[in-house]
């Protein structure tokens, strides 16, 4: 029990426990990152891998999918962890040693990996690695900004052109949205000053159009005006944006208090559902028991609506790309006789759809779908991962077994002139990285040629 974990442990011993746990945590993080890097090295060295470097879903993405599935994280996060591992193994092995020994915090390691990323001379990098590995232990107590300053100081000593210049504030413009709370969402961001001024004055103008009978505050009118702009009501005839809300019929009619679900944000109160229903188009879902195997590759609107509501997001392990950017994919391919049926169709984002299509086979990914929509994936390493429909977590009736599958014979090859070709990159991932490094180093060299620093 947690309550008794530290019974009889003195104050000094508690501090020692904390220090030991910190070291163990550092060691565990290092093992995870270095293992990801080593797996990447092994897979990238595989026979025949070179021909796939120009693929949109290339060798790196294929490994990221497998790491993401194992750790239940997204491909993007898996890719970041792989990058740290590869950088430590191949570029900063001395730093990797002290990290693996539990002597350095990950935040220090992360700063070193990023801020030395423009160094291209192997000998200079090796010397810098030795210098930083000796000193990084003392940087654990420093702030993030101070660590960056310390690393930069050493980068300038060895290779001034490799200094990471501060990003332009222009690059930080963004809009971000928080979670739903009581039917409301906070959002924030950063705009160009001129754009922000235009938006601010435009909202004031629209808020001022309300008549004296309008009981809303000015702040409320501004918020509603922004929503109107986003929906296209004031944009000169642009098509309105469509959002999808799932709810039981009883919630809409007022006979049930079951919350609804707003895709991408989460639960909505019954009151919010009913308010939205009063000004939205309602589209009842066809119950799964009434859906049958369809005699065509592309699912009907009723079947497509059901699959998107049941799954809500990509069904690949660790992925949560929303339904609106996902394809409806046949678990058993249509060409192999797989039916267009609720228990043989699921959502996959475009990247994982391509991964399944082109990285399948004897040493690739395989999947098996069950009647309730559960999918068991088997990775190239033989590891298995189970994903369940996200919509069924909110509405269990969506995972009810469907009608019996009607099997079919394999379809003849399509003769529409299309071929199953993986989209290609303009240049490989490695070439893209080299180009970015050359560009950033070139900016530094030009800057210092015009205004040499006092070295």
- Per-residue model confidence (pLDDT) at position 81: 96
Closest to 298 in 3D by CA, of 411, 194, 157: 411
Contact between 207 and 221 under an 8 Å Cβ cutoff? The reply is: yes
Which phi and psi angles does 362 have, rounded to 5°?
-60, -40
Look up tokens 């601010």; give the residue. 200
Closest to 68 in 3D by CA, of 78, 76, 58: 78
Return per-residue pLDDT of the chain as tens, 455 residues: 666 777 788 889 989 999 999 999 999 999 999 999 999 998 887 655 556 677 777 888 889 999 999 999 999 999 999 999 999 999 999 999 999 999 999 999 999 999 999 999 999 999 999 999 999 999 999 999 999 999 999 999 999 899 887 655 566 788 888 877 777 888 888 887 667 767 887 888 888 888 878 888 888 888 888 888 877 665 555 455 567 889 999 999 999 999 999 877 788 889 888 988 888 888 899 999 899 899 899 999 999 999 999 999 999 999 999 898 999 999 999 988 899 999 999 999 999 999 998 887 777 899 999 999 999 999 999 999 999 999 998 999 998 887 777 766 665 555 444 445 777 777 888 888 889 899 888 888 887 777 776 65
Closest to 57 in 3D by CA, of 270, 256, 350: 350
- Per-residue model confidence (pLDDT) at position 170: 61
Look up tokens 């730093």; give the residue. 95
3-state secondary structure of 67: helix
CA distances 174 to 177, 182, 229, 369, 447, Å, are 10, 25, 18, 39, 28
- Distance, CA of 369 to CA of 367 (rounded, Å): 7
Sign of the dihedral through C-alpha 251, 254, 258, 264: positive
Look up tokens 């792989």; give the residue. 82
Residues 6+ apart with CB under 8 A from 276: 245, 268
435-451 burial, b for 16+ CB within 10 Å, e for fewer?
eeeeebbeebeeeeeee
What is the strand order of the sheet 245-246 is part of? 245-246, 260-262, 266-268
Residue 168 sits at the vertex; the CA angle it makes with 163 and 173, to the nearest 5 degrees, is: 140
3-state secondary structure of 315: coil
Strand locations in 287-383 (E): 326-330, 345-349, 366-369, 375-378
CA dihedral 120, 121, 122, 125 (to 10 degrees): -80
CB atoms within 10 A of CB 143: 10
Q: Is 310 exposed, middle or buried (0-12, 13-18, 19+ CB in 10 A)?
A: buried
- Distance, CA of 454 to CA of 77 (rounded, Å): 40
**pTM for this prediction:** 0.74
Give the strand pairing for 260-262 and 245-246: antiparallel
């Amino acid at each position: 029990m947690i309550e008794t974990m530290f019974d009889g442990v003195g104050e000094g011993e508690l501090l020692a426990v904390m220090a030991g746990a910190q070291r163990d945590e550092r060691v565990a993080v290092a093992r995870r990152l270095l293992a990801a890097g080593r797996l990447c090295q092994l897979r990238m060295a595989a026979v025949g891998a070179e021909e796939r470097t120009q693929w949109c879903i290339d060798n790196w993405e294929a490994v990221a999918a497998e790491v993401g599935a194992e750790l239940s994280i997204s491909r993007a996060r898996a890719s970041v962890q792989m990058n740290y591992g590869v950088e430590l193994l191949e570029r900063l092995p001395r730093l990797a040693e002290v990290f693996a020994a539990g002597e350095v915090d990950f935040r220090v390691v992360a700063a070193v990996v990023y801020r030395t990323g423009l160094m291209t001379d192997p000998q200079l990098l090796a010397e810098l690695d030795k210098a930083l590995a000796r000193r990084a232990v003392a940087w654990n107590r420093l702030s993030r900004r101070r660590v960056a300053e310390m690393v930069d100081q050493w980068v300038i000593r060895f290779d001034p052109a490799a200094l990471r210049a501060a990003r332009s504030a222009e690059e930080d413009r963004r809009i971000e949205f928080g979670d739903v709370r009581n039917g409301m969402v906070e959002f924030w961001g950063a705009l160009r000053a001129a754009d922000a001024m235009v938006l601010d004055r435009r909202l004031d103008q629209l808020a001022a159009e309300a008549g004296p009978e309008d009981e809303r505050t000015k702040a409320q009118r501004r918020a509603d005006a922004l929503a109107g702009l986003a929906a296209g009501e004031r944009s000169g005839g642009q098509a309105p944006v469509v959002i999808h809300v799932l709810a039981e019929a009883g919630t809409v009619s007022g006979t049930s208090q079951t919350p609804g679900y707003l895709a991408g944000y989460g639960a909505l109160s019954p009151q919010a559902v009913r308010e939205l229903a009063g000004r939205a188009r309602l589209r009842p879902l066809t119950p799964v028991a009434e859906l049958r195997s369809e005699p065509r590759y592309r699912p009907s609107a009723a079947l497509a609506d059901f699959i998107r509501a049941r799954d809500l997001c990509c069904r690949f392990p660790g992925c949560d790309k929303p339904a609106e950017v996902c394809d409806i994919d046949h678990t058993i391919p249509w060409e192999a006789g797989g039916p267009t049926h609720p228990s043989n169709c699921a959502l996959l984002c475009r990247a994982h759809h391509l991964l399944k299509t082109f990285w399948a086979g004897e040493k690739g990914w395989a999947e098996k779908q069950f009647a309730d929509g559960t999918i068991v994936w088997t990775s190239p390493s033989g590891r298995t991962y189970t994903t369940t429909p996200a919509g069924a977590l909110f509405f269990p009736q969506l995972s009810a077994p469907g009608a019996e599958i009607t099997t079919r014979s394999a379809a003849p090859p399509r003769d529409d002139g299309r071929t199953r070709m993986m989209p290609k990159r303009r240049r490989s991932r490695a070439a893209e990285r080299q180009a970015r490094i050359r560009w950033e180093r070139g900016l530094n060299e030009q800057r210092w040629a015009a205004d040499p620093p006092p070295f």
